[in-house]
């Protein structure tokens, strides 16, 4: 009906992600600063409450164990928010990136809280920028935050809105991928051999191409990537706040491959790929044609199966989340 407002999302995390995405799309160049301020305001109180619950649940735990628990939970959450909540549809990637970034930000704020620092204090925003690799030190990060605040006020006063929607969304997505460690920047590229760098891009291209017809193939690839980046930023936070690295859980037990959720994602990915192969074989064996050609039927089968598998996956996940809520 005309004039009706859309119903709000039932998922508060998705509402936060969409709100953040709307803010940073207005000016992609200020994305790290927008993210840091938004995270402290929105995730700071949650981080403090989460640490208090953990201390109540483990009253006799030493600081190292508490830090391990915070990091393990934070990494799992960032993987879930980024890979599994985003799901197999590429169109969901920007929202999934925002959710993963906020999950990583809460992880950093919880580590800061364990170190005795107030996760709601504005100083945490500068520290987030340093830990994300946006600035080399908190002084330059604080100066950048001050400049961003002035620019935001000027934009609000002039009702400015720069950057077209497609171009702005692309720049935002690429910058989020860099912060998440899913895309190499100039600073990190020099430490990776050209052969390995080329292999990483080849693997990414293969996953995208295969994911167009078997969308669940995207999930385990993204889960591994999110886990790697989550553990890396957790290590930086541990050194920054405690001066020492933390022995991250599950390294000795098999690392990323031992995770039940990841194993389930691999099984689903293989099943979706086998489904596509079976459907293609069925078309070839039956000789189905459209306008006396086989390729239109194959195209429809590939596109239809991809959309159907992705839609079923998303609907089941959303129904599961509603039941849990």
Q: What is the pLDDT of residue 120?
A: 94
Instruction: For residues 187 and 25, give the distance between their C-alpha atoms in angstroms, rounded to a whole number.
Output: 24
Question: 278: pLDDT confidence band, cut at 50, 70 and 90?
Answer: confident
The partner residues of 293 in beta bridges, in order of sequence, read 290
Structure confidence at residue 9 (pLDDT): 52
Assess contact for 121 and 109: CB atoms under 8 A.
Answer: no
Q: What is the CA radius of gyration of the chain?
A: 22
Give 21's pLDDT tier (boundaries 50, 70, 90): confident
According to the model, what pLDDT value does residue 52 have?
95
Residue 243 scores a pLDDT above 80: yes
Please give the residue that has the higher pLDDT: either 79 or 171: 79
State both tokens at 52. Answer: 């208090």
Q: Does the pLDDT at position 191 exceed 60? A: no
Domain residue ranges of the chain, discontinuous segments joined by +: 12-151+163-184+194-324
pLDDT at 159: 53
* Alpha carbons 108 and 135: distance in angstroms, whole number: 16
Tens of pLDDT, residues 77-95: 888 887 776 566 666 777 7
Of the ranges 5-14, 240-249, 257-266, the best mean pLDDT one: 240-249
In angstroms, the CA 6 to CA 170 distance is 25
What does the pLDDT read at residue 117? 95
Q: End-to-end distance of the chain based on CA atoms, in angstroms?
A: 29
Q: Which is higher by pLDDT, 231 or 164?
A: 231
Q: What is the pLDDT of residue 321?
A: 64
Share of the chain above pLDDT 90, in %: 25
Residue 223 and residue 240: Cα distance in Å, rounded?
26
What is the mean predicted confidence (pLDDT) over 60-76? 91
Per the model's pLDDT, the better-predicted residue between 209 and 38 turns out to be 38
Q: How many CB atoms lie within 10 A of CB 90?
A: 15
Q: Which residue has the higher pLDDT, 105 or 277?
A: 105
**Segment of 1-10, 69-78, 284-293 carrying the highest mean pLDDT:** 69-78
* pLDDT value, residue 6: 39
- Tokens linked to 118: 């107030």
């Amino acid at each position: 009906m005309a004039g009706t407002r859309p119903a709000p999302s039932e998922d508060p995390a998705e509402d936060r992600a969409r709100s953040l995405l709307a803010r940073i799309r207005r000016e992609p160049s200020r994305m790290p600063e927008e993210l840091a301020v938004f995270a402290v305001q929105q995730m700071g109180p949650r981080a403090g409450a989460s640490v208090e619950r953990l201390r109540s649940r483990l009253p006799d735990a030493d600081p190292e164990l508490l830090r391990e628990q915070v990091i393990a939970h934070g990494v799992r959450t960032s993987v879930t928010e980024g890979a599994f909540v985003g799901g197999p549809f590429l169109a969901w990637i920007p929202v999934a990136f925002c959710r993963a970034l906020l999950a990583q930000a809460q992880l950093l704020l919880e580590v800061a809280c364990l170190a005795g620092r107030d996760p709601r204090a504005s100083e945490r925003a500068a520290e987030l920028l340093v830990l994300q690799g946006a600035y080399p030190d908190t002084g330059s990060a604080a100066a950048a935050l001050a400049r961003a605040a002035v620019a935001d006020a000027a934009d609000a006063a002039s009702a400015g809105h720069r950057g077209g929607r497609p171009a702005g969304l692309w720049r935002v997505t690429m910058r989020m991928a860099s912060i998440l460690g899913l895309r190499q920047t100039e600073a990190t590229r020099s430490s990776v051999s050209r052969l390995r760098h080329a292999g990483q891009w080849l693997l990414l291209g293969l996953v995208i191409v295969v994911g167009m017809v078997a969308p669940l193939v995207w999930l385990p690839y993204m889960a591994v990537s999110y886990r790697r980046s989550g553990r890396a930023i957790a290590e930086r936070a541990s050194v920054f706040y405690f001066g020492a690295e933390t022995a991250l859980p599950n390294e000795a037990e098999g690392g990323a491959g031992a995770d039940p959720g990841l194993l389930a994602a691999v099984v689903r990915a293989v099943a979706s790929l086998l489904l596509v192969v079976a459907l293609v074989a069925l078309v070839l064996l039956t000789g189905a044609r459209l306008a006396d050609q086989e390729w239109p039927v194959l195209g429809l089968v590939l596109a239809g199966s991809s959309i159907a598998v992705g839609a079923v996956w998303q609907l089941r996940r959303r129904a599961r989340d509603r039941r849990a809520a």
